[in-house]
Amino acid sequence: MPTNQFTMQDPRSQYQMGRTEKDSDQPDPGLDEILKPKADHGEDTYVGSDRLKGRKALITGGDSGIGRAVAIAFAREGADVVFNYLASEEADAKVTLDILKDSGIKAWGIAGDISDESFCNDLVAQSVENLGSIDILVNNAGKQQFVAELDDLSTEQFCQTYATNVFAMFWITKAAVKHMPPGASIINTTSIQCYQPSAGLLDYASTKGAITSFTKSLAKMVIDKGIRVNGVAPGPIWTPLQQSGGQPAKKLPEFGDNVPLGRPGQPAELAPTYVYLASQESSYITAEIMGVTGGQHLP
């Protein structure tokens, strides 16, 4: 593992997960607390340099996985952070909150289900009350459940996946833009599944297609307010999402082996892309999707 995000090494062997416990499973939504093997969110490796000093960030799904890695990176770069999580993820949220506060910034965790429109509005209101404004919005929370056969994919799951992945992004963004100043940045988490959808992820993959289009259209809609909108498309990243039904158990031992780098990515490997898109360094970038895919490139 790297000592920090600047240490040069062979990316093929940067993380060695092993296979012994990859077939473990856990309930949905998954917890990092019981993820085996553990993921790297940059807790001990991410080194900041004040690239987001004084910024105010709201991150959905910030308790674990990609969201936790982004929250840690933002905090280490000097941003105050509010992150959202489900009440059942309280154990992970407490760990994340402690890490953020140890970075010397102000941080809050707000529990609630973003598939409910009224909560989305309340989340933004609470965030603005705590932060004073919102300079960075990261729509990251997602629902992913593998279903092999079309007949087994229920209307309930299909609708819930869209409510969590797409509708919530719309509700939160609509409420947040009112509080975002010129120079603010919105970053949406889409997926390689938008471009190379897997059988068994029909609902999830199609939401990611919607997110990609939403991102590009929204960017053109809000640029007259000085707000940039971009997306990040992860490839196979090791998070609780995978071990809690996001992948079939039989595929977990080989998860991520099919990409050119030959391994799954770690949440910490995505965080710098979010930092870049949130910072002024990407001032001429909007309506773009950046892939972090281990070589399974976007079209």
SS3 51: coil
Report the catalytic residues.
204
d(CA 35, CA 38): 6
Helix (H, G, I), strand (E, B) or coil at 258: coil
φ and ψ at residue 189, rounded to 5 degrees = -90, 110
Angle at 182 between CA 180 and CA 184, to 5 degrees: 55
DSSP 186-235: EEEE--GGGTSPPTT-HHHHHHHHHHHHHHHHHHHHHGGGT-EEEEEEE-
Residue type, 218: L
Q: Assess contact for 52 and 278: CB atoms under 8 A.
A: yes
Q: 245: part of which helix (H) or strand (E)? A: none
H-helix or E-strand spanning residue 102: helix 90-102
- Cross-sheet strand order for the sheet of 289-292: 107-111, 80-85, 56-59, 136-139, 185-189, 228-234, 289-292
DSSP 30: P
